[in-house]
């Protein structure tokens, strides 16, 4: 088996230049939006339009009819391309590939990890599992296959050697029960090209991924992170996020530098029509070429969160995207997207 790090590959930081950003169009057979699917295509179309303002967008669709519907919802937009790639669910961050870059050769490759629907949370993932190979084939990129389960939303890199993740997800026995922590760390080093694995604890309430890092803490620089905090001590997220905050204070980047930690607020407690808590998080933003797409939840803290995110990305345009309907699927902007990096200059 080819080991990406041995070949010179690494997972780039999200703020490095993109060739495009990918989405998988949601369809009526999805399990992700019970009782609410009719509102999703319009919201998804608005998200695609927002991304296309900054860079090319590539959308996976099941067939010609779905492409027609997607075009109708997106509207006139010259920066969107469609690919005949089927999926079970729309969460491209997790069923899609993790793209790698090689700074020596200028190559971009597809890392194809195993996927089991977040520990068998949903009944079907056979189509999702084949998306990375199909994308690699459509793009003509090298296809590197890893037998270990790993979702894109569970890892966050600074591009220079450090990765943030959570014990509650990567060490969960519903993913890779036969692997030890040391083996999982080695897998991250070999496949993402990192040398410094930074562990946080649990995820936020309502997150059915067992604690994806992209709802908690995001790198915004080599040693700088944004992390969500809950200021209401009665909220179940308060203790979990305070523990993560204290953990971050003790962590160091790959060169031994302490992390510069910037706090993001949490939205108020939003619930769906069934009374379940929704995992609304402003950390689920997407960095694009020249901009940042920030989730908005029709919440009093939307503006504050967008302002904080803008302050750590000077020169990038901050665009709030309405995710009040999309979050019913228990994810928002970052969960639904996957960036394809530009080839590095050699």
Q: Check residue 1 and give its pLDDT.
A: 77
Residues annotated catalytic, as ranges: 335
* Exposed/middle/buried for residue 241 (C-beta within 10 Å: 0-12, 13-18, 19+): buried
Tell me 187's DSSP state: H
Mean pLDDT calculated for residue range 251-268: 97
Report if residue 10 sits inside a domain.
Answer: yes
* Residues 21-30: tens digit of each pLDDT: 999 999 999 9
Q: Give me the phi and psi of 13, to 5 degrees please.
A: -65, 150
Q: What is the pLDDT of residues 173-225, one digit of tens each?
A: 999 999 999 999 999 999 999 999 999 999 999 999 999 999 999 999 999 99
Q: What does the alpha-carbon distance between residue 274 and residue 298 come to, in Å, rounded to a whole number?
A: 19
What's the mean pLDDT in 89-98?
98
Determine the structural domain holding residue 266 and report its residue range: 4-341
Q: Does the residue 146 lie in any domain?
A: yes
Q: What pLDDT is attached to residue 273?
A: 66
Domain count of the chain? 1
Mean of per-residue pLDDT scores for the chain: 97
Q: Give 115-169 pLDDT, tens digit per residue.
A: 999 999 999 999 999 999 999 999 999 999 999 999 999 999 999 999 999 999 9
**Within a domain: 23:** yes
Helix (H, G, I), strand (E, B) or coil at 2: coil
Could you tell me what percentage of the chain is helix, strand and coil, using 3-state DSSP and rounding each to the nearest 5?
Answer: 30, 25, 45
Assess if residue 346 is contained within a domain: no
pLDDT band for position 35 (cuts 50, 70, 90): confident
Residue 279 has pLDDT above 80, yes or no: yes
Whether 84 shows a pLDDT value over 80: the answer reads yes
Query: Can you give the CATH number for the domain in which 238 is found?
Result: 3.75.10.10
Q: Which pLDDT score is estimated for 271?
A: 80
Mean pLDDT of 267-289: 90
User: Is-contact 64 27, C-beta < 8 A?
Assistant: no
In this predicted structure, the answer to whether residue 269 has a pLDDT above a threshold of 90 is no
Asked if pLDDT for residue 274 goes beyond 80, the answer is no
Whether residue 295 has pLDDT greater than 80: yes
Helix ranges (DSSP H) in 21-125: 40-52, 64-74, 92-95, 117-120
Q: Write out the DSSP string of 75-136.
A: -S-TTEEEEE---SSS-HHHHSPEEEEETTT--EEEEEEE--HHHHTSS--HHHHTHHHHHH
**Pairing between β-strand 317-322 and β-strand 291-296 as defined by DSSP bridges:** parallel
pLDDT value of position 45? 98
């Amino acid at each position: 088996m080819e080991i990406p790090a041995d070949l010179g590959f690494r997972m780039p930081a999200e703020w490095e230049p993109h060739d495009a950003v990918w989405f998988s169009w949601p369809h009526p057979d999805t399990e992700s939006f019970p009782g609410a699917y009719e509102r999703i295509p319009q919201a998804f179309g608005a998200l695609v339009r927002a991304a296309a303002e900054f860079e090319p967008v590539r959308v996976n669709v099941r067939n010609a009819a779905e492409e027609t519907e997607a075009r109708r919802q997106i509207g006139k937009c010259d920066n969107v391309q469609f690919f005949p790639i089927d999926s079970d669910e729309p969460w491209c961050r997790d069923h899609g590939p993790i793209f790698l870059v090689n700074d020596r050769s200028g190559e971009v490759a597809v890392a194809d990890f195993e996927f089991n629907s977040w520990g068998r949370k949903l009944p079907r993932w056979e189509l999702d599992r084949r998306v990375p190979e199909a994308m690699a084939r459509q793009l003509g990129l090298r296809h590197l296959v890893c037998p270990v389960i790993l979702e894109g939303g569970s890892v966050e890199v600074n591009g220079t050697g450090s990765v943030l993740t959570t014990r509650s997800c990567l060490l969960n026995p519903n993913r890779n029960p036969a692997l030890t922590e040391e083996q999982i760390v080695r897998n991250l080093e070999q496949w993402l090209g990192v040398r410094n694995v930074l562990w946080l604890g649990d995820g936020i309430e309502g997150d059915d991924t067992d604690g994806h890092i992209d709802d908690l803490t995001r790198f915004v620089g080599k040693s700088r992170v944004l992390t969500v905090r809950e200021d209401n001590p009665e909220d179940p997220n308060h203790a979990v996020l305070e523990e993560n905050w204290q953990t971050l204070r003790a962590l160091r980047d790959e060169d031994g530098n302490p992390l510069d930690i910037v706090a993001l607020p949490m939205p108020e407690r939003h619930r769906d029509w069934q009374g379940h808590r929704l995992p609304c998080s402003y950390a689920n933003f997407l960095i694009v070429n020249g901009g940042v797409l920030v989730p908005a939840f029709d919440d009093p803290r939307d503006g504050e969160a967008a302002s904080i995110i803008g302050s750590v990305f000077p020169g990038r345009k901050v665009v709030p995207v309405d995710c009040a309907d999309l979050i019913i699927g228990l994810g928002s902007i970052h969960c639904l997207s996957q960036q394809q990096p530009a080839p590095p200059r050699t």
